[in-house]
């Protein structure tokens, strides 16, 4: 039996596409059983439909409270009996009670090297701060925003000529490699969330957990 992934999106869906491709080629020993968007206009819904994946919209604007929205979200997730709730550009913060209910099964990708640059506009803020390295982080979701234990990170060097758009593109390309990799470990049971930290049953190669991406997507390399 392969693990069942429920993917939550709000927009473009490029990570959803990368995860679907990784499932299809067998990199992730799991399958996407449903895609939920909180926005009816999310482009990612079309990606899901084209891949033949079941979709559901749970529009947060139709609920009078965050709690009611999350009850509907939990019902949609339960309907598909997901093993993993995979946040892929899902732009709503959760209440502690939602996080508790799904604790240890809820993962996210964030476009920065956490704990730096939690929240929004990470690429702009990284450029303003003048960092040399930027990147992306896959982490378990806990009640603290972008604060859960880190599963894997991809680092991208910031070039002098980078602007917000070019840096975002480089980070996104790294995300598309990082997230499938991390989900593969989760589906294989290589790690679990144990209290406030990770417990590895089988530690992955350093070059996969700490991905070092060069400027060119296809010449990405790892420390040797
Ligand atoms: C990604 O940069 C991800 O890190 C962030 O939202 C963006 C989603 O992009 N959480 P996409 O919808 O997967 O293309």
pLDDT tens, residue by residue, 52-109? 999 999 999 999 999 999 999 999 999 999 999 999 999 999 999 999 999 999 999 9
Mutate to test the pocket of ligand 1, among 88, 137, 145 (most ligand atoms within 8 A of CB): 88
Chain segment 11-27, per-residue pLDDT in tens: 999 999 999 999 999 99
In a domain, 221, yes or no: no
Query: What integer pLDDT is reported at residue 218 of this predicted model?
Result: 43
Beta strand spans in 53-114 (E)? 55-57, 84-87, 106-110
In a domain, 146, yes or no: yes
In three-state secondary structure terms, 1 is coil
Per-residue pLDDT band at 219 (split at 50, 70, 90): very low
In a domain, 24, yes or no: yes
Q: Which domain holds residue 30?
A: 3-110+136-152+176-198
Integer CA distances (angstroms), 55 to 12, 58, 94, 134, in order: 15, 10, 21, 33
Could you give the CA distance from residue 110 to residue 87 in angstroms, rounded to a whole number? 9
Kindly give the interhelix angle for 164-187 and 122-129, rounded to the nearest 10 degrees: 120
The candidate with the shortest Cα–Cα distance to 6, out of 69, 53, 67, is 53
CA of residue 199 to ligand 1 center, whole Å: 26
Pairing mode of beta strands 30-37, 55-57: parallel
Contact 37, 118 (CB under 8 A): no
Where helices occur in the chain by DSSP H, the ranges are: 14-24, 44-50, 66-79, 96-101, 122-129, 164-187, 206-209
Is 14 assigned to a binding site? Answer: yes
Query: What integer pLDDT is reported at residue 215 of this predicted model?
Result: 54
Closest protein CA for atom 8 of ligand 1 = 89
In a domain, 8, yes or no: yes
Looking at the 3D structure of the chain, how many domains does it have?
1
The minimum-distance atom of ligand 1 relative to the CA of 16 is: 13
In a domain, 161, yes or no: no
In a domain, 96, yes or no: yes
Chain segment 107-151, per-residue pLDDT in tens: 999 999 999 999 999 999 999 999 999 999 999 999 999 999 999
Contact 48, 13 (CB under 8 A): yes
In a domain, 130, yes or no: no
Ligand 1 pocket residues where CB is under 6 Å: 9, 11-15, 44, 88-89, 109-111, 136, 172, 175
Could you give the CA distance from residue 163 to residue 119 in angstroms, rounded to a whole number? 19
In a domain, 88, yes or no: yes
CATH number at residue 81: 3.40.50.170
What's the average model confidence in pLDDT over 182-196?
96
Closest protein CA for atom 1 of ligand 1 = 89
């Amino acid at each position: 039996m392969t693990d069942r992934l429920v993917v939550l999106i709000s927009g473009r869906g490029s990570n959803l596409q990368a995860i679907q491709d990784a499932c299809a080629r067998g990199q992730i020993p799991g399958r996407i059983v449903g895609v939920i968007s909180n926005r009816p206009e999310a482009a990612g819904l079309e990606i899901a439909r084209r891949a033949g994946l079941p979709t559901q919209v749970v529009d947060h604007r139709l609920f009078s409270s965050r709690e009611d929205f999350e009850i509907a979200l939990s019902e949609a997730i339960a309907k598909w009996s997901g093993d993993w709730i995979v946040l892929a550009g899902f732009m709503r913060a959760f209440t502690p009670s939602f996080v508790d209910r799904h604790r240890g099964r809820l993962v996210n990708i964030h476009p920065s090297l956490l704990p730096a640059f939690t929240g929004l506009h990470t690429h702009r803020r990284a450029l303003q701060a003048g960092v040399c390295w930027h990147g992306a982080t896959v982490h378990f979701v806990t009640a603290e925003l972008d604060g859960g234990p880190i599963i894997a990170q991809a680092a991208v060097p910031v070039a002098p000529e980078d602007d917000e758009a070019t840096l975002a593109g480089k980070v996104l390309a790294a995300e598309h490699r990082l997230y499938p990799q991390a989900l593969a470990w989760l589906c294989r049971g290589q790690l679990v969330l144990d209290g406030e930290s990770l417990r590895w049953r089988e530690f992955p190669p350093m070059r996969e957990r700490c991905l070092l991406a060069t400027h060119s997507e296809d010449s990405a390399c790892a420390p040797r």
